[in-house]
Amino acid sequence: MSDNQHPIDLRSDTVTQPSAAMRAAMAAAPVGDDVYADDPTVNRLQDYAAELFGYEAGLFAPSGTQTNLIALMAHCARGDEYLVGQEAHTYKYEGGGAAVLGSIQPQPIANQPDGSIAVADIAAYIKPDDMHFARSRLLALENTIGGRVLPQDYVKAATDFAHAKGLATHLDGARICNAAVKNGISLREAVAGFDTVSVCLSKGLGAPVGSVLLGPKSFIEQGKRLRKMLGGGMRQAGVIAAAAHYALEHNVERLADDHRNAADLSAGLGAIAPLKVTTPQTNIFYVEIPEAACEPLREALAKQGIRASIGPHTRLVTHLDVSSADVRTVIAAFQAFFKDWRN
C-alpha cells in the first residue's frame, strides 16, 4: 500500500519528482540572462542536446507545446498547411495553436493502428500548386504516439517521400528517447530523416520542466524570435536547464526499466476479469474498464494512495517514480477490487 505523501501515480510520466542528484545540479548551476544568450547552463544544454541528436543547434523552451509551435511557425507561413496525424499531439492536444497563433492550416490524416500515417494518404493530401488551396509545406509525425513506436523503415519511407515532394519534416519527439531505447538504436538514428525535432525533457526523462527544439542554425535563430513572441524567453533559466541536462545525461537508458514495469503491470491487469488490456511497447498502455466500475475503482485506489485517470478507456503510464514493487501493489489493488465487485 502507498500513501498520500508518497503516492503511486500512473496518470502520466510528467508527474516525476526531481531526484536529489538532479536537485543538486540545479542548485549548483551557473546562470545568466538567456534572452541575451548569457546563461552558460542553458547554452551548455542546447549544445549538448544538438550534439546528442545530430543537429547543428538547439533551443530550450518551457514546454513541448511551445517547441512544437515554434517549429510549425518557422516551417510554415500564414496560409500554409502542415500534414499531421488525426491522433497527433500537435493537432489534437495543443489548443489549436498552429491555427490560432500561426494562421497555419492543419491537414489531419487518419493514423494507422501502429500510429503511422500511410504514405499513400500523405500523397493524397498534398495540395496542388493552385491559388485555391493552402500551400502544403510540412509533414509532422510523432514518435512515440500513444506509446507506440513508429517502425524505422516507415519513418525513412515517409520522410524520404515528403522531401521528394518538397515538404519539410518535423518530429514531435516528446518521447523519442523511449522509442530509441525500445528499438535499441542511437538517438541520432531515431531522428534520422527529420529536419527538426522537439524533445521533451519533463516526461520519462524526469526533468521538472522544459523541452528542446533541434535543427539547423538558421532555423533555430528564427526560432529564438518566435520563442520571444510566444512568451518563452526566460532569464536565469540555467536552474531548470541543469535539471534537463542531468536528465539527458543520466535518464535515457533507464527508460528500459519503465518499459519492463509497464509490461509487468499490463500482464498482471490482463489476468483480471473483466479488464481488457493492451500490450505496451514502451511505458504506456490502455485498459478497458466497465463504466459501472470506474467510480468505485477510482475511490478504492485513491484510498490506497494510487493515482490513475480511471475511466472506460484508461491510460496507465509508468515512469522513474514507479518501482517494480509499486507495480505489484497496483496489481494487488485491482485484484482485490474486482474480486468483490459485481456489476
pLDDT tens per residue, range 321-340: 999 999 999 999 999 999 98
What pLDDT was estimated at residue 266?
98
C-alpha grid cell for residue 139? 509533414
1 falls within a domain:
no
What pLDDT was estimated at residue 6?
81
What band does 342 get if pLDDT is binned at 50, 70 and 90?
A: confident
21 falls within a domain:
no
What pLDDT was estimated at residue 204?
95
Residue 239: strand, helix, or coil: helix
Res. 4: pLDDT tops 90: no
pLDDT, mean over the chain: 97
pLDDT per residue over 203-235, tens digit each?
A: 999 999 999 999 999 999 999 999 999 999 999
Q: How many CA atoms lie within 13 A of 106 on its CB side?
A: 25
Rounded to an integer, what distance in angstroms lies between the CA atom of residue 129 and that of residue 127? Answer: 7
What pLDDT was estimated at residue 3?
57
Q: What is the CATH number of the domain that holds 320?
A: 3.90.1150.10
- The predicted model gives 48-70 an average pLDDT of 98
Res. 307: pLDDT tops 80: yes
The radius of gyration of the chain's CA atoms, rounded to the nearest angstrom, is 21
Res. 2: pLDDT tops 60: no
Res. 53: pLDDT tops 60: yes
Same domain, 201 and 271: no
What pLDDT was estimated at residue 227?
98
pLDDT per residue over 81-101, tens digit each?
A: 999 999 999 999 999 999 999
What pLDDT was estimated at residue 172?
98
Is the distance from CB of 143 to CB of 176 less than 8 angstroms? Answer: yes
Beta bridge partners of 107: 83
Res. 243: pLDDT tops 90: yes
Same domain, 127 and 71: yes
- The predicted model gives 57-80 an average pLDDT of 98
**DSSP states along 107-124:** EEEPPPTTS---HHHHHH
Q: How many folded domains does the chain comprise?
A: 2
Res. 1: pLDDT tops 60: no
Which run of H or of E encompasses 302? helix 291-303
61 falls within a domain:
yes
pLDDT per residue over 152-178, tens digit each?
A: 999 999 999 999 999 999 999 999 999
Same domain, 160 and 233: yes
Q: Which residue has the cell 490524416?
A: 109
Is the distance from CB of 82 to CB of 104 less than 8 angstroms? Answer: yes
Res. 343: pLDDT tops 80: no
Same domain, 246 and 127: yes
Q: What pTM does this model have? A: 0.95
Rounded to an integer, what distance in angstroms lies between the CA atom of residue 336 and that of residue 296? Answer: 12
Domain boundary among 205, 224, 250: 250
Domain boundary among 250, 276, 302: 250
Same domain, 219 and 75: yes
Rounded to an integer, what distance in angstroms lies between the CA atom of residue 318 and that of residue 103? Answer: 36
- The predicted model gives 145-157 an average pLDDT of 97
What pLDDT was estimated at residue 341?
87
Same domain, 171 and 304: no
Percent of the chain with pLDDT over 90: 97
Strand pairing class (284-288; 313-317): antiparallel
In this structure, what are the phi and psi dihedrals at residue 8, rounded to the nearest 5 degrees?
Answer: -95, 110
24 falls within a domain:
no
Res. 13: pLDDT tops 70: yes
- All residues at 6 or more sequence positions from 120 whose CB lies less than 8 Å from its CB, including other chains: none
- What number of other Cβ atoms are within 10 A of residue 154's Cβ? 18
Same domain, 303 and 175: no
In this structure, what are the phi and psi dihedrals at residue 56, rounded to the nearest 5 degrees?
Answer: -75, -35
Same domain, 220 and 182: yes
The region that residue 236 occupies, defined by phi over 0 for left and psi between -120 and 50 for alpha, beta otherwise, is: beta
What band does 80 get if pLDDT is binned at 50, 70 and 90?
A: very high
What band does 5 get if pLDDT is binned at 50, 70 and 90?
A: low
Same domain, 40 and 100: yes
25 falls within a domain:
no
Same domain, 290 and 240: no
Same domain, 174 and 187: yes
Domain boundary among 250, 284, 313: 250
Q: Could you list the residue range(s) of the whole structural domain that residue 313 is in? A: 8-15+254-340
Same domain, 216 and 113: yes
C-alpha grid cell for residue 59? 533551443
Q: What is the CATH number of the domain that holds 169?
A: 3.40.640.10
What pLDDT was estimated at residue 143?
98
- The predicted model gives 255-277 an average pLDDT of 98
